[in-house]
């Protein structure tokens, strides 16, 4: 072997050693994020298999996040979670661009230098992607996913007298008629402006938190710190999604749409605040929001509470009687004023939303519905958004011994 061949051989060996060291270092650097991902996966598997574990977690561990991280984000008057959502969307686009560029550089390197393998930039990109996936997975598991698998609310807490195992048309009729009578009477007590729109002059956020604390006597999980519900900054965009409120698990915040008609706000605030205490299932959050509102001394809150379930009850009743209009109109009829108040946005608000909209409302709503359906389904809520209406089952049990 001549001197030149020996030098080339040594250089080749050095290059292989360098590549081996780089690969070893790269593999070691993945251990921590892979470990975090493994913890998230294991917790989710346990959650799916053991409701009792989730019950324990929601009762003993989950409150820590609201009392610590929730207090921190609660300092800010704006929705931290909403801006984190937008930052996340920007980060995804940035990662797509970064990954594309680094992928092209890997190809160019191979063609020009005849070297295959990953560039330093692409290795850094893969590490960053893995860290983001690990952190997001664990955070969402701890503040959202596990709560979907708790035992049903009516198994964890005593609700109603439970004088019967099943509830039929007779009980549904009594409950529906009761709620109709309540909203009809309350509609006449409400303060309105010159257009006939409802107005509210009180401190809605404080009243919502006060009523949630009141309910904690019956539902201990509702104890503890509550941040102020926060309005969306881009309520117009959330209006296009027909979104009244949202719980941001990555910021431990309850958010509401301040563009929607004011009667929806009390029940929506209480609904979202219940998510902060581990009631992630929508029918249970509807139920908690209803109880918080109808138990208030504030007539506006009571009106909002009854209105929040009126549609579910009326539709179920109409379906249960076979859509027989003669039977339907033989029962208390929802008055015209209540029908007028039962709206998502006023006409003027809708005009403002459509005027400033960057995207078509139907397209935004359809995309939003698919996202919500997917999120609920992958977390074990097989009937998706239909699950919201299961609040009727909880109400039927709650009023057992009160109305029938």
Q: How confident is the model at residue 385 (pLDDT cuts 50, 70, 90)?
A: very low
Residue 248's CB: how many other CB atoms inside 10 A?
A: 23
118 and 206 fall within a common domain? no
Domain end (from 149, 172, 204): 149
Share of residues in the chain with pLDDT > 70 (%): 88
Residue percentage of the chain with pLDDT more than 90: 74
155 lies in some domain? no
> pTM for this structure?
0.85
Under 8 Å between Cβ of 248 and 257: no
Of residues 18 and 174, more confidently modeled? 174
More confident of the two residues 117 and 13: 117
Look at the chain and report how many structural domains it folds into.
2
Hey, is 245 helix, strand or coil? strand
Domain range for residue 293?
A: 161-398
**For 381, left (φ over 0), alpha (ψ -120 to 50), or beta?**
beta
> Which of 12-16, 324-328, 365-369 is modeled with the greatest confidence?
324-328
Same-domain pairing of 175 and 65: no
What is the enclosing helix (H) or strand (E) of 230? strand 230-231
Residues 89 and 138 in one domain: yes
Task: Indicate the pLDDT class of residue 44, thresholds 50, 70 and 90.
Answer: very high
Geometric angle at alpha carbon 215, from 211 and 219, rounded to 5°: 150
For the sheet containing 245-248, what is the strand order? Answer: 230-231, 253-256, 245-248
Query: Is residue 404 in some structural domain?
Result: no
CB-neighbour burial class of residue 320 (10 A; exposed 0-12, middle 13-18, buried 19+): middle
143 and 279 share one domain: no
Determine, yes or no, domain membership for 154.
no
Same domain, 217 and 259: yes
CB 250 within 8 A of CB 225: no
Q: What is the DSSP letter of 198?
A: B
Kindly state the average pLDDT of the residues 85-92: 92
SS3 of residue 379 by DSSP: coil
- A 10 A CB-CB count for 272 gives 23
Mean of the per-residue pLDDT values of the chain: 89
């Amino acid at each position: 072997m001549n001197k030149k061949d020996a030098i080339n051989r040594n250089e080749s060996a050095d290059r292989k050693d360098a590549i081996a060291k780089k690969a070893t270092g790269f593999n070691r650097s993945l251990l921590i994020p892979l470990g975090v991902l493994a913890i998230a996966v294991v917790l989710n598997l346990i959650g799916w298999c053991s409701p009792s574990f989730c019950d324990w977690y929601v009762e003993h561990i989950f409150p820590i996040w609201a009392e610590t991280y929730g207090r921190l984000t609660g300092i800010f008057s704006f929705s931290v979670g909403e801006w984190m959502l937008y930052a996340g969307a920007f980060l995804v686009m940035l990662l797509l661009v970064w990954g594309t560029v680094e992928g092209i550089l890997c190809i160019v390197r191979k063609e020009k230098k005849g070297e295959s393998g990953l560039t330093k930039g692409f290795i850094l990109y893969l590490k960053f992607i893995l860290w983001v996936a690990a952190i997001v997975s664990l955070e969402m598991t701890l503040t959202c996913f596990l709560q979907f698998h708790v035992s049903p609310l009516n198994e964890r807490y005593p609700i109603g007298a439970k004088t019967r195992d099943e509830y039929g048309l007779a009980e549904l009729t009594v409950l529906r008629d009761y709620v109709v009578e309540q909203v009809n009477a309350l509609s006449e007590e409400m303060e309105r402006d010159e257009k006939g729109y409802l107005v509210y002059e009180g401190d809605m956020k404080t009243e919502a938190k006060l009523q949630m604390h009141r309910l904690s006597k019956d539902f201990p999980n509702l104890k503890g710190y509550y941040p102020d519900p926060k309005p969306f900054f881009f309520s117009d965009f959330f209006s296009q999604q027909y979104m009244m409120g949202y719980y941001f698990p990555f910021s431990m915040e309850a958010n509401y749409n301040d563009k929607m008609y004011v009667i929806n706000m009390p029940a929506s605030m209480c609904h979202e605040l219940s998510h902060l205490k581990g009631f992630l299932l929508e029918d249970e959050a509807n139920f908690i929001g209803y109880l918080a509102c109808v138990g208030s001394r504030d007539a506006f809150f009571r009106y909002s509470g009854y209105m929040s379930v009126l549609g579910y009850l009326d539709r179920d009743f109409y379906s249960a009687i076979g859509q027989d209009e003669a039977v339907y109109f033989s029962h208390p009829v929802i008055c015209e004023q209540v029908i007028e108040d039962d709206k998502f946005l006023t006409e003027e608000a809708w005009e403002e939303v459509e005027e400033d909209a960057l995207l078509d409302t139907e397209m935004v709503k359809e995309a939003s519905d698919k996202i919500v359906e997917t999120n609920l389904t992958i977390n074990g809520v097989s009937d998706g958004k239909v699950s919201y209406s299961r609040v009727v089952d909880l109400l039927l049990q709650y009023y057992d011994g009160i109305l029938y």
